[in-house]
Structure 1
């Protein structure tokens, strides 16, 4: 599938790429798509995703665009800022209830030049922990950002009570 994706994307045959996507398990397609983009590192992969998003905007397509921008295309100027746009769009489309979408934002906080502030990472971590109280990534980010934000006190029991009350 990877070779077909590469061929169709680089030739601008986006409808063929969409057909491949609809015929495959999305996770398998996503993996093959990102792997193809790693091999070639062409902006055509991003252009293809944008073309598909024009026709149907889904959180999965925004997630794929995010992955593309933070991994194979991360060296492109502005890629991480564009990734922020896609992470935020995914969060909006899932009403902030998908941990995967929220974790993307935390990745943008972990890069050498963070795209989001400690406060935003702190708030997102709290949101994740309300959905998934045992999420270790969110717990670690919450602790780290709280220390840097003038020693905010984090009560994990309060967060867990919020989950049971929902």
Structure 2
């Protein structure tokens, strides 16, 4: 399955690749894209996710775009900034998703520190109100 997805995307057959992705769970989509990007470090996978975002903007697709840029493709100039943009956009689209808020805290830990300390503390406090057991948020309070 992952090889088929990889071949469709690399050959720019986005229509068939989208049909394949539509049949996957969110966990499978995340796992497959992380594996493909770590293996190849090819930005075409981000381009595919961005193309899907153009058709239907969702918090989940912004999250996928963000993790692709902030992890396997983080060595590219501007990748963290673009990832931060997508992470913030994901939260705008799904304000109740506490895991997205926890993920956004990551941007305070990177060398670029795109989320300042005050913003991280404020966000962590919001997370704790919703999810008091959040170990991620507790580190910022």
Q: What band does the TM-score fall into relative to the shorter chain? A: over 0.9
Measure how far apart 1:85 and its partner are.
0.7
Could you say which residue in structure 2 is the equivalent of 1:109?
Answer: 108
Q: Which structure: larger Rg?
A: 1
Could you say which residue in structure 1 is the equivalent of 2:80?
Answer: 80
- 1:122-161 matches, within 5 Å, as 122-142=121-141
Could you say which residue in structure 1 is the equivalent of 2:68?
Answer: 68
Measure how far apart 1:57 and its partner are.
0.4
Query: 1: distance between equivalents of 2:99 and 2:18?
Result: 23
Aligned residues: 141
2:30 is paired with a residue whose SS is helix
1:90 is the counterpart of 2:90? yes
TM-score normalised by structure 1 residue count: 0.81
Query: 2: distance between equivalents of 1:131 and 1:123?
Result: 13
Measure how far apart 1:113 and its partner are.
2.6
Could you say which residue in structure 2 is the equivalent of 1:31?
Answer: 31
> 1:5, 1:36 within 8 Å by CA — same for their partners in 2?
no
Measure how far apart 1:112 and its partner are.
2.4
* Unmatched segments (≥5 aa) in structure 2: none
Query: 1: distance between equivalents of 2:133 and 2:70?
Result: 25
Could you say which residue in structure 1 is the equivalent of 2:5?
Answer: 5
TM-score normalised by structure 2 residue count: 0.95
1:32 is paired with a residue whose SS is helix
> 1:108, 1:116 within 8 Å by CA — same for their partners in 2?
yes
Query: 2: distance between equivalents of 1:98 and 1:7?
Result: 33
Measure how far apart 1:30 and its partner are.
1.7
Query: 1: distance between equivalents of 2:57 and 2:71?
Result: 21
- Residues 116-139 of structure 1 deviation map (CA, whole Å, 9 limit, x = unaligned): 100110111011111101111101
Following TM superposition, where does structure 1 have runs of at least 4 consecutive aligned residues deviating by more than 3 angstroms? none
